[in-house]
Copies of this chain bind each other. A is one copy, B any other.
Amino acid sequence: MDGLPERDASSVARSGKVGNDRKMEKLEDSIWAHCSSSSVRRASRQLGQLYDDAMGLTDLRGTQFSLLTQIGYLQEPTQKELARAMVMDLSALGHTLKPLIRDDLVELVPDENDRRAKRVRLTATGSAKQAELVANWREAQRRFDAVLGAERSAELRRTLSFIASEDFAKAYEAAGKTAD
């Protein structure tokens, strides 16, 4: 589950160990050059750091800002709905909401029709904080588009959106059954 990041070439050459294991090198070329999951994860780590830095976040993480935004957009979603939108495990979402609730940015309110469910709402403080950071995000995103280019950026988003969709998950699961 690993590719051949270009930056590794210098490390390999520097360590002078290339000749030691030709078999491993060959496997890497044919197998690991193609692992999409770890590719996406590496990009995610990179962007997470760059965006946080560019947005100048001090008391919030980029992921928390993303959560606040989605909550505002979905207009008091249930935790289940929110987790689904964030492509997150429900339990993980619950944990992740804790500091936001603690800091009075978010509050949970009972659903009117289903006693099992709780709805997630931005507090006034939460709304203000979210609005405050919009310009920061704009700047971070501007840089991304500047480097990657508008067209490539849009194409990437389309592909990622599809990957994050339930349709993709369904098709992926189905692809497993077909090969059985």
Contacts and interface: CB of A to CB of B under 8 A. Distances in A.
Interface of A: 1-8, 11-12, 15, 17, 20-21, 24-25, 27-28, 31-51, 54, 62-63, 65-66, 69-70, 72-77, 81, 84-89, 134, 137-148, 152-153, 155-157, 159-166, 168-169, 171-173, 175-176, 179
Contact of A163 (B46, B163, B168): B46
A30 to B, nearest CB: 10
Given A7-B85, A41-B63, A139-B179, 8 more contacts: A8-B85, A17-B76, A37-B47, A38-B66, A43-B160, A50-B169, A50-B172, A143-B176
A84 B46 contact: no
Instruction: Count identical subunits in the complex.
Output: 2
Contacts of A171: 147
A5 B77 contact: no
A157 to B, nearest CB: 5
A163 B43 contact: yes
Contacts of A49: 89
B138 A31 contact: yes
Contacts of A175: 142-143, 146-147
Given A2-B69, A5-B165, A15-B74, A179 B36 contact: no
A87 B36 contact: no
A60 to B, nearest CB: 10
Contact of A66 (B2, B15, B31): B2
Contact of A44 (B44, B70, B72): B44
B143 A168 contact: no
9 contacts: A7-B165, A12-B74, A24-B75, A31-B138, A34-B153, A35-B141, A37-B62, A40-B47, A43-B164
